[in-house]
Structure 1
C-alpha cells in the first residue's frame, strides 16, 4: 500500500477514486475507462503542480519517505559481485554503515553507504542509519583499502546524523567522524558521493568528502536537522518548517551555493514512486562524474579535493 505524505492528501484522494473505479470495472460493472482517464490526467497534473513548488520542509519529508530507495537498493541494482566487508578491526561491526567490494560498469570499486532499513526489524538492526564510531572507523578502513589497491570509491549517504548516544561519545564519535573525513580527503583514488535521502551533519560528510558530490532532486543535506535547529533556536521543534527554510538544505539551494556538484532529477512524485528509475538515473550520473576522474593521478585528485572543500569556506556563502 502506497504511503502518502500530509501534503499529498488531494493526490491520495484522486488516486483512491481511480482505484475504486478500476475495481468496479474488474467486478463486471459499467465501462468507466473514460472517467478513469480523466481522473488520471487530473491526478498527474496535480502531482506535477505539487512537486514543482515543494517547500524545504516538504522536501525534507520526501527525503525521509519510508518507500524511498535505500543504500542497499542502489548497491543491488548498480553494483555487480558485491562482497560486503565488516568490522572496524578495533571494536565491532556497525550495521548502519555498509561497505565492501564490487564492480560498477565492469570496474572494481569500493562501495560505502549508510543504510536505514526498509521495515521495522531492519530499521532497528541498522539503528535507523545512525552510525556509531565503529561505523566511521569501518568507512575509514575501507577508504584506505581503496587507496592501497587503486580502487575508486562510491558512497551513498542517507542518514539523519551520527548516533548521539552516550556510549558512542565515550568511544570517540567526533574523532571517528573526523578521521573518516580525513580519509576521504586523502584518498589517492576517484571518489564520488551521492546524497540519496537525508544528509545529516557530520554523519553525512564523513562519507561525502569526495571529488564529486551528487544529490537527488528531493534529498536534503544540512549541518543539522530542521527539528534540531528549531529546538536550539526557538526551543520548539514545531518550528521545524521555518528552520528548514533558513537552513537552505535543498538540492537547488546547495547547487546554487556550489556545495554539491550535480543534482539528479527524480521521477515525478519522488524516487519512492519509481525506485528503479531513480536508481538508474543515479547510476548514469555517477558514471558521468567518475569517468573523467579516472584519468587523474592520486596526487592531483588529493590536491583538487582538498582545495574544493577549503574553497567552500572562502567564498562568503551569505
Structure 2
C-alpha cells in the first residue's frame, strides 16, 4: 500500500480512483475501464512531475523521512555479497540502530556500516528509529579499525534523525563516542565513502560521514539540527520548521554548491520510494565510481586529502 505525504494528497485521490476503476472491472466481467484508468494515470504522472519539479526544502525533508524509502538493510542486501554482520562494541552492548560488517562489493572485500531505521513498528522500535547510542558509534570505530588493519575500504550508509539523546546514552558518553567515531574517520588510511540515503541528522550523521567522498541522494537532507529543533530554538515555535528548513540549507543541491556534498545521486520521479531498485542501482554505480577514483591514492595521501577537505570546508562555505 502506497504511503502518501501531505503535499501528495491530490495525487493520492487520482491514483486511488484509477485503482478503484480497475478493481471494479476485475469484479464485473465485460466492463472495460482501461481507457478511463489510463487517462487518470496520465493525469497522475503529470501531477507527480509538477509536484517534484521544484520541491521546497521542507518538502524535501518530508521525502527524506518517507517510511517507504529503501533503508540500509535494503542496500546491503542488493549491493553487497557475503555480508557477515559483526556485533557489539566489546564494551557494553550491541546497538541495533547501527548495522555493520564484512562484505564484498563487486567482488571486492569491504567493510560496510550504516544506520538502520526499521521497516515496521516492531523493527523500528528494535532499531530505535535509526538513532544510535554510544555503543553503536563504538562498534563503528571497532569496524573502522579492523578495515584499516586489513586494508579494506569503508562504505557508510547514513540515515538517522540524530544520535539518541536519552539519559542512558548520555551517561555512557554519547558525545565522546560521536567524537571518537568522527576522529577515526579522519585517521584511517583506506578509502572512506559515505552515502546519505535519507536523513543526515547532526553529529550522529557526521560520525559516519567524515569521508573522502560524500554523496547524497537527490531528496536526502544533511544538517546540524532538524528544522523542528532549529525552529524551537530560534523562534520558540516548532511550527516554523518550514522557515528553518529554508535557512538551514540542508538539501543535497545546496550542500553540493557549498562543497559539503561531492555528488548528488538522482532519484526516480516521485522519490526513492517509487522505484527502490532503480535507486539502489544508482547508489551502487556511484559507490563503484568513487571507489575506483580513491583506490589509486596511497595511504598517506588519503589521510592528508581527507584532512585538507574538512579544513577547507569552512572557507568554501563562507565564500558561497
- Band of TM-score, shorter chain: over 0.9
> How is 1:33-44 mapped onto 2 (pairs within 5 angstroms)?
33-44=34-45
* 1:30 Cα deviation after fit: 2.4
Q: Counterparts of 1:3 and 1:56 in 2: how far apart (Å)? A: 20
Structure 2 match to 1:246: 247
Structure 1 match to 2:303: 302
Q: Counterparts of 2:82 and 2:142 in 1: how far apart (Å)? A: 20
Q: Counterparts of 2:121 and 2:34 in 1: how far apart (Å)? A: 39
SS at match of 2:119: coil
Spell out, residue by residue over 1:172-218, the C-alpha distance to the aligned partner (whole angstroms, 9 max, x if none): 11111011011111110011100000000000010011110010001
Q: Counterparts of 2:319 and 2:36 in 1: how far apart (Å)? A: 51
Q: Counterparts of 2:234 and 2:81 in 1: how far apart (Å)? A: 46
Q: CA RMSD in A?
A: 0.9
Q: Counterparts of 2:96 and 2:158 in 1: how far apart (Å)? A: 14
Structure 1 match to 2:74: 73
Q: Counterparts of 1:256 and 1:25 in 2: how far apart (Å)? A: 50
Structure 1 match to 2:9: 9
1:168 aligns with 2:169: yes
SS at match of 2:198: strand
Structure 2 match to 1:82: 83
1:277 aligns with 2:311: no
Q: Counterparts of 1:289 and 1:236 in 2: how far apart (Å)? A: 41
Consecutive unaligned residues in structure 1, runs of 5 or more: none
Q: Counterparts of 1:317 and 1:103 in 2: how far apart (Å)? A: 40
Q: Counterparts of 2:262 and 2:219 in 1: how far apart (Å)? A: 15
SS at match of 2:209: coil
* 1:24 Cα deviation after fit: 2.3
Q: Counterparts of 2:52 and 2:319 in 1: how far apart (Å)? A: 27
Q: Counterparts of 1:256 and 1:203 in 2: how far apart (Å)? A: 23
Structure 2 match to 1:64: 65
Q: Call closer, same or farther: CA 1:124–1:207 in 2, change over 3 Å.
A: same
SS at match of 1:314: helix
Spell out, residue by residue over 1:132-179, the C-alpha distance to the aligned partner (whole angstroms, 9 max, x if none): 111101101111110000000000000000001121111111111011
* 1:29 Cα deviation after fit: 4.5
Consecutive unaligned residues in structure 2, runs of 5 or more: none
Runs of 4+ in 1 over 6 A off after TM superposition: none
Q: Counterparts of 2:125 and 2:108 in 1: how far apart (Å)? A: 33
Q: Counterparts of 1:30 and 1:53 in 2: how far apart (Å)? A: 39
* 1:25 Cα deviation after fit: 2.1
After TM superposition, the score normalised by the length of structure 2 is: 0.98
Spell out, residue by residue over 1:224-260, the C-alpha distance to the aligned partner (whole angstroms, 9 max, x if none): 0001001101111111111001001111111111110
Structure 1 match to 2:207: 206
Structure 2 match to 1:147: 148
Q: Counterparts of 2:264 and 2:248 in 1: how far apart (Å)? A: 18
Q: Counterparts of 1:115 and 1:37 in 2: how far apart (Å)? A: 38
After TM superposition, the score normalised by the length of structure 1 is: 0.98
Spell out, residue by residue over 1:19-66, the C-alpha distance to the aligned partner (whole angstroms, 9 max, x if none): 011112222252122211211111101101101121111110111111
SS at match of 2:112: strand
Q: Counterparts of 2:286 and 2:319 in 1: how far apart (Å)? A: 26
**Count of paired positions:** 318
Q: Counterparts of 2:252 and 2:25 in 1: how far apart (Å)? A: 42
SS at match of 1:92: coil
SS at match of 1:206: helix
